[in-house]
A and B are shown apart, each in its own frame.
Chain A
């Protein structure tokens, strides 16, 4: 017997020819019948791709001390958020390494909503509940009741506008609105944020499970193209976005992971702050860099990276980008972050690479 979970859209994925794989405890489509490259093209070249990312977790944080609680458990400055704004942030442990990376949605001063990684859900919720004992705050795991869709690509706004009374034009980058989504008479409310993991304009849509099939079907009817996990990973890697278990984990701090921009050391005390401060002073143990092969080949996760012939680190995410070729995110020794000739070992051969800036392909996000 499989212990894997199904999202409310499982049958819809199968009907669309989805190739189902186990992922983060769920059975999810890695690709649909037309193949990954066509899906990639749809998102990058003008259509709207729709992704079932229901596996991700949602946690509601409510109470009079919601703000000071989140200031203490997360790295970014939650006080900077206005109502209806989203912020990328992280949960660290006392060692300053990652428990998870998250997005924080501010509903109001006493109510926030966190979107967390599927693989970390139970760990995150247990951690938040343990820390919440010292605050006047309640933690509610709404993951099992919530369907999360991402709609990404140039046509995302036009595609979604047909389904909601929310004026999408008024939702800025990393902002959100709450309101009715769907076509039926008895539709209930949801959250639409202008966020994503692709480098394209688009939205993430939080709805109750009961609405999942209706909204999914309506978006397909509007011309949205279903996109599987393989292309989701390609799109995020091309942007250089970190993924838990790859670029970030409980082995690295924000200093190594290039995530000091979401780690506000001067906002006041928070879990992991002292450890991150110390790491910043003593210097990173390794550094995350972006690499592009200068000869044919595809870098893959865990391939070794050499600098001037010395083994320096390994690839954390690698792929063949249809637009940029063989690209990789990799950790290397700090002294190799900017100096020395880089190569990636592929099946015993050293394939030369060069350091490059991120994103690997142009982002179309309107900030």
Chain B
């Protein structure tokens, strides 16, 4: 063991090998399998090995599929914009307005804790709020803002986006807070001494220096929303479709080749978006 450790390369490989094995068997191989399967053929009752582009032809030809992809993008963009504003504001407050490290840590923990509880439960917990006889409708009617209960609160696209923001804004807060805390406070002093207004400090100093954190948070949120299927299913009451639901419906119907083809297209889409985002930040440096 000792002599082996002397060769740094071999030691690194030995240490990394379990991770390599697990990711090969449970990530790369499955992705390869899905890709292969996406070229298979299927009938109503069975699937058979083949190398044909039927599944892809159907995908790219269908206007329904196109609409579903557009919907998925829309969810991602709206959720991204809202979580960005929330994440930046919360991180800014914690970094520049909370004065002691202890309080910063405590308030940061308070933000983090819900993220460590069950997503399913957090979705369910919107029901008494948004339901037909829920708190939101009661309040609206008591205030006389509406006569009838508002129907689009629960089981709607509104509910889906609300739940996304609720579940994923943490992924924005954490990396932005992390980069913001590393901003040298004397830079802000210098800007102020040079006569910059608060707004100018924000746009010329804070935001540029926070960009890596914003990018990392954006990558998380976009990937999670694009790949989701359960939030959309639950919060829309199965009335709205996104790509993830397309895949899970096909799986439910045992149409694996079709599910696999959709999955491959989704994967490529997500990876391309992320690759573009990575152009703006060197992730290895930012850790």
Report if A and B associate in a common complex: no
